[in-house]
């Protein structure tokens, strides 16, 4: 980090303005070699008008603005310079090369942020959030990144970690100075209580993660029903494409198809499944049915389809009794009904509900013709209402959303904390093991924000104590 780096900071292509960014101890010297005029005393955070010069030929390259940011008040925490010049790939390239001739080195990908991290300007969560912000393709992703840049995740993680470190300080104090290698009774009860609180908070973070899926990843919806009821037709209707094969032969859909659908703010992952025919001799169809069952078990929303033509005859098949967060009923092929008046539909619905069991009897119902598209909006409304109700139940804090690396670390911290709690409940659990559990939990959380050396922090905390205490 004792050299000075430079890079084009704006996207390639024609543009009104482009920025070349420089960071490092020699930023001022580099600027002086390639930008004129400059005052002898360089002000910080002030735009200066002038010309970018090629230092090897003294040729003026472009008119623009330069800003110098004196350390540590810059993104990287080092002296920084930004040259704001005309955009366009070639022009920016020439100006960037001028900064190299002036003594800077080409920066590597992410090197500015790496320096910001190493200089303690941002923690790892914020560094990751910056990358997320740059790559965000949805409003949700953008909101998460913004919140995390503001420390929404780092702060609670850091608070949990410091609590663990305080416990560790106490435990190690006992280990170093205590006579016993076991905790005193009054200590162990209090310690267990505090660890359980931490355990609860870690569990909350993990639960939040589970629920995040409903917001960011999409709610899983499985269409179920006997063969030929119109599952594939509905799938295609909602997606507006011939995604699934529709045929008059029962058992055509043999595998599980998955597609993503957006209705207003909610993303759904739709799976069209093979029918749940109970008896079939076709081994391929049987595998399809097994897959349908496992899809159904994983779904958040189960949609059970019935054939309108079979309703009045009492021969409609009953939905399976899986657990699901939400259920919807769809009666398809209303176009086949001789009398589709609302009075008749009401009678049919009442009849149907009378023999449905459990949560299915209460499930919202929509009438549909997958063939004509009639009733599609009502079904979408029911899907959206179900999603909103689920989201209202599921506590989820967008700002606490963790990426895969962070989740793994939270899991490791939760596992180590659980070990400590369990150990404390046992008749004999060596103090050293307790220390190592708590230390492991703290280190796991530390790795989220990027504190790798727990000992340094420990020293800091120890410094606030005195030996006699």
When asked if residue 229 is in the footprint of ligand GDP (CB under 6 A), the reply is yes
Our CB check for ligand GDP shows the closer of 261 and 438 to be 261
Q: How far is the CB of 252 from ligand GDP (least distance, A)?
A: 6
Q: How far is the CB of 109 from ligand GDP (least distance, A)?
A: 48
When asked if residue 408 is in the footprint of ligand GDP (CB under 6 A), the reply is no
Our CB check for ligand GDP shows the closer of 379 and 424 to be 379
Our CB check for ligand GDP shows the closer of 253 and 417 to be 253
Q: How far is the CB of 230 from ligand GDP (least distance, A)?
A: 3
Which of 228, 292, 295, 366 contacts ligand GDP by CB under 6 A? 228
Q: What is the 3-state secondary structure (H, E, C) of 39-52?
A: CCCCCCCCEEEEEE
Our CB check for ligand GDP shows the closer of 317 and 332 to be 332
When asked if residue 246 is in the footprint of ligand GDP (CB under 6 A), the reply is yes
Site string for ligand GDP, 419-448 (x = CB under 6 A): ------------------------------
Phi first, then psi: what are they for 265, rounded to 5°?
A: -85, -5
Beta-strand pair 266-272/257-263: antiparallel
When asked if residue 230 is in the footprint of ligand GDP (CB under 6 A), the reply is yes
Our CB check for ligand GDP shows the closer of 166 and 374 to be 374
Q: How far is the CB of 335 from ligand GDP (least distance, A)?
A: 5
Q: How far is the CB of 152 from ligand GDP (least distance, A)?
A: 44
When asked if residue 99 is in the footprint of ligand GDP (CB under 6 A), the reply is no
Our CB check for ligand GDP shows the closer of 8 and 237 to be 237
Our CB check for ligand GDP shows the closer of 158 and 272 to be 272
When asked if residue 275 is in the footprint of ligand GDP (CB under 6 A), the reply is yes
Which of 168, 183, 270, 370 contacts ligand GDP by CB under 6 A? 370
Residue 351: partners with Cβ closer than 8 Å, 6 or more residues away: 311, 312, 314
When asked if residue 371 is in the footprint of ligand GDP (CB under 6 A), the reply is yes
When asked if residue 93 is in the footprint of ligand GDP (CB under 6 A), the reply is no
Distance in angstroms (rounded) separating the CA atoms of residues 65 and 54: 16
Q: How far is the CB of 375 from ligand GDP (least distance, A)?
A: 9
Our CB check for ligand GDP shows the closer of 64 and 225 to be 225
Q: How far is the CB of 290 from ligand GDP (least distance, A)?
A: 17
Going by C-alpha positions, the residue among 406, 415, 407, 412 that lies closest to residue 448 is: 406
**Hey, how many other C-beta atoms are within 10 angstroms of the C-beta on 130?**
20
Q: What is the 3-state secondary structure (H, E, C) of the chain?
A: CCCCEEEECCCCCCCCEEEEEEECCCHHHHHHHHEECCCCCCCCCCEEEEEEECCCCCCEEEEEEEEEECCCCCCCCCCEEEEEEECCHHHHHHHHHHHHHCCCEECCCCHHHHHHHHCCCCCHHHHHHHHHHHHCCCHHHHHHHHHHHCCCCHHHHHHHHHHHHHHHHHHHHHHHHCCCCCCCHHHHHHHHHHHHHHHHHHHHHHHHHHHHHHHHHCEEEEEECCCCCCHHHHHHHHHCCCCCCCCCCCCCCCCCEEEEEEECCEEEEEEECCCCCCCCCCHHHHHHHHHHHHHHHHCCEEEEEEEHHHHCCCCCCCCCCCCCCEEEEEEECHHHCCCCCHHHHHHHHHHHHHHCCHHHHHCCEEECCCCCCCCHHHHHHHHHHHHHHHHHHCCCCHHHCCCHHHHHHHHHHHHHHHHHHHHHHCCCCCHHHHHHHHHHHHHHHHHHHCCCCHHHHHHHHHCCCCCCC
When asked if residue 227 is in the footprint of ligand GDP (CB under 6 A), the reply is yes
133: left (phi over 0), alpha (psi -120 to 50) or beta: alpha
Q: Per CB under 6 A, which region of 97-105, 180-188, 223-231, 341-349 contacts ligand GDP?
A: 223-231
Q: Per CB under 6 A, which region of 43-51, 92-100, 201-209, 245-253 contacts ligand GDP?
A: 245-253
Our CB check for ligand GDP shows the closer of 174 and 273 to be 273
Residue pair 195/424 in contact (Cβ under 8 Å)? The answer is yes
When asked if residue 18 is in the footprint of ligand GDP (CB under 6 A), the reply is no
When asked if residue 366 is in the footprint of ligand GDP (CB under 6 A), the reply is no
With CB under 6 A as the rule, give the number of residues binding ligand GDP.
21
When asked if residue 126 is in the footprint of ligand GDP (CB under 6 A), the reply is no
Which of 248, 313, 338, 426 contacts ligand GDP by CB under 6 A? 248
Which of 99, 317, 369, 447 contacts ligand GDP by CB under 6 A? 369
Site string for ligand GDP, 324-343 (x = CB under 6 A): --------xx-xx-------
Tokens of 255: 């595998």
Q: How far is the CB of 260 from ligand GDP (least distance, A)?
A: 19
Which of 33, 79, 231, 439 contacts ligand GDP by CB under 6 A? 231
Residues at the contact surface with ligand GDP, assessed by CB under 6 A: 225, 227-233, 246-248, 252-253, 275, 332-333, 335-336, 369-371
């Amino acid at each position: 980090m004792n050299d000075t780096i430079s890079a084009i900071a704006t996207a390639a292509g024609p543009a009104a303005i482009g920025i070349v960014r420089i960071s490092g101890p020699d930023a001022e010297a580099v600027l002086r070699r390639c930008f004129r005029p400059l005052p002898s005393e360089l002000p910080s955070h002030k735009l200066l008008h002038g010309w970018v010069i090629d230092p090897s030929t003294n040729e003026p390259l472009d008119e623009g603005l330069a800003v110098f940011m004196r350390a540590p008040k810059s993104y990287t925490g080092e002296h920084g310079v930004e040259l704001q010049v005309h955009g366009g790939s070639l022009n920016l390239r020439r100006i960037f090369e001028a900064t190299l001739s002036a003594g800077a080195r080409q920066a590597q990908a992410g090197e500015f942020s790496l320096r910001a991290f190493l200089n303690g300007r941002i923690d790892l969560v914020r560094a990751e959030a910056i990358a997320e912000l740059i790559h965000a393709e949805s409003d949700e992703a953008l909101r998460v990144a913004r919140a995390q840049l503001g420390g929404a995740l780092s702060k609670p993680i850091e608070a949990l970690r410091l609590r663990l470190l305080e416990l560790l300080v106490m435990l190690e104090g006992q280990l170093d100075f205590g006579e016993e290698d076991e905790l005193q009774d009054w200590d162990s009860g209090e310690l267990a209580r505090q660890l359980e609180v931490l355990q609860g908070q870690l569990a909350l973070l993990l639960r939040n993660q589970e629920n995040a899926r409903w917001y960011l990843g999409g709610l899983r919806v499985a269409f179920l029903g006997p063969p030929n009821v119109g599952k594939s037709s509905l799938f295609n209707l909602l997606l507006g494409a011939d995604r699934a094969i529709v045929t008059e032969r029962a058992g055509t859909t043999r595998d599980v198809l998955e597609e993503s659908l957006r209705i207003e703010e909610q993303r759904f992952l739709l799976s069209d499944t093979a029918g749940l025919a109970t008896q079939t001799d076709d081994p391929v169809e049987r595998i399809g049915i097994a897959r349908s069952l496992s899809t159904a078990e994983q779904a958040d929303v189960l949609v059970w389809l019935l054939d309108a033509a079979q309703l009045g005859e009492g021969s409609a098949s009953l939905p399976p009794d899986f657990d699901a967060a939400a259920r919807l009923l769809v009666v398809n092929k209303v176009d086949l009904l001789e009398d589709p008046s609302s009075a008749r539909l009401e009678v049919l619905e009442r009849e149907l509900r009378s023999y449905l069991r459990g949560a299915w009897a209460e499930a919202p119902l929509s009438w549909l013709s997958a063939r004509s598209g009639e009733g599609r909006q009502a079904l979408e409304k029911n899907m959206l209402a179900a999603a909103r109700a689920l989201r209202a139940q599921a506590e989820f804090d967008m700002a606490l959303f963790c990426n895969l690396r962070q989740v793994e670390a939270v899991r490791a911290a939760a596992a180590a904390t659980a070990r400590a709690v369990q150990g404390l409940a046992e008749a004999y659990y060596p103090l050293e093991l307790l220390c190592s559990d708590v230390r492991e939990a703290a280190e796991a959380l530390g790795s989220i924000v990027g504190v790798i050396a727990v000992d340094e922090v420990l020293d800091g905390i120890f410094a606030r104590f005195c030996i006699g205490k």
